Amino acid sequence: MSAPLVRISTCAGLCSGVERALELTYRAAQEAPPPVNTLGPLIHNPGVISDLKAQGVGMISDPGEADRGTVVLRSHGVPHETKEALLAMGLTVVDATCPFVTSAQEKAARLKAAGYLVVILGEKDHPEVLGLRSYAGDDSLVVESPADLPAQLPAKKVGVVVQTTQSQRRLAELVADLAPRARELLVHNTICSATEQRQAAAIALAAEVECVVVVGGKNSGNTRRLAELCAAQQPCTYHVESAEEINPVWVMGRRTVGITAGASTPPQQIQNVAARIREMEV
């Protein structure tokens, strides 16, 4: 028997925001005052984090761990108090926050300043959402679905911002629930275009193949959502971080296998997975 035909999504892998973050960090490793550390993982991809470590870029989990040198702010952004604290310590700060995240932070701050109750659609413990909440205020609400909203909204003037890697479906569900409950509703659709493009291409691919492999960090929110969307279209969907995780049983008897990848997945990781599948005679 021959190997299955492998189709790679027309839009998969690194987005411009992640590419920018990597470029800034690798440049900092060469030019910025040492030691160079990222505050938390720069992106949610274990392979990339290992490569950064090999290039001399360390990682700290708390600003207090840095007493000199350079701190790179992760692509997901940080609470504004954190950035201010690092600058006050006299450290060199390289801001690698994705521009889409920065825009969402600014919109959250404007909503708060205008007196809106800010509702953030996102994962409450995700680094990007923690940063967004620092701009939206302590009274902001973080929800993953309408079910997370309180029975009685604490205000009738409501503004919405969205974790940049959420899906349009989830946003539509939230807005449909909020609209009849708020006297004034202002929605900022801060889902980034890269997320939309990857999700649309992945759904289209999943409808045309017999198995889907989604490549990217297990801790990557946008990659997990790609896997969810693909699984809804094609139940034979698997999420892996590397080619070594591929089980031949997954593709056994399949004529076509589709591959897509999250916005923090480098091209080489995608190609490694494709090569591994092409080696399998099923």
* pLDDT for 270 beyond 90: yes
* pLDDT for 247 beyond 60: yes
**Per-residue pLDDT reduced to its tens digit, 66-92:** 999 999 999 999 999 999 999 999 999
Give domain limits for the chain: 5-13+194-278, 16-98, 100-191
Tell me the average pLDDT across 159-173: 95
> 3-state DSSP call for residue 68?
coil
Tell me how many degrees the CA angle 153-157-160 measures, rounded to the nearest 5.
85
* Eight-state DSSP code of residue 147: G
Instruction: Determine whether 31 is an active site residue.
Output: no
**Per-residue pLDDT reduced to its tens digit, 169-190:** 999 999 999 999 999 999 999 9
Token pair, residue 175, equals 């807005």
CB atoms within 10 A of CB 226: 33
**Per-residue pLDDT reduced to its tens digit, 40-64:** 999 999 999 999 999 999 999 999 9
User: What is the fold, at CATH topology level, of the domain defined by 5-13+194-278?
Assistant: Cobalt-precorrin-4 Transmethylase; domain 1 (3.40.1010)
* pLDDT for 1 beyond 80: no
User: Which uninterrupted H or E stretch holds 226?
Assistant: helix 221-233
> Can 5-13+194-278 and 16-98 be said to share one CATH topology?
no
pLDDT given at position 98: 95
* pLDDT for 280 beyond 90: no
Residue 35 CA to residue 131 CA, distance in Å, equals 25
Q: What CA–CA distances, in Å, run from 133 to 7, 44, 239?
A: 39, 20, 29
**CATH class of residue range 16-98:** alpha beta
Contact 223, 196 (CB under 8 A): no
Q: Does domain 100-191 fall into CATH 3.40.50.10490?
A: no
The mean of the pLDDT values for the chain is 95
Which of 31, 123, 128, 245 is catalytic? The answer is: 128
Q: What is the pTM of this model?
A: 0.89
Residue 108 CA to residue 129 CA, distance in Å, equals 11
Tell me the average pLDDT across 106-112: 98
Token pair, residue 111, equals 């909503």
**Per-residue pLDDT reduced to its tens digit, 124-142:** 999 999 999 999 999 999 9
pLDDT given at position 282: 57
Tell me the average pLDDT across 109-115: 98
pLDDT given at position 224: 94
* pLDDT for 160 beyond 80: yes
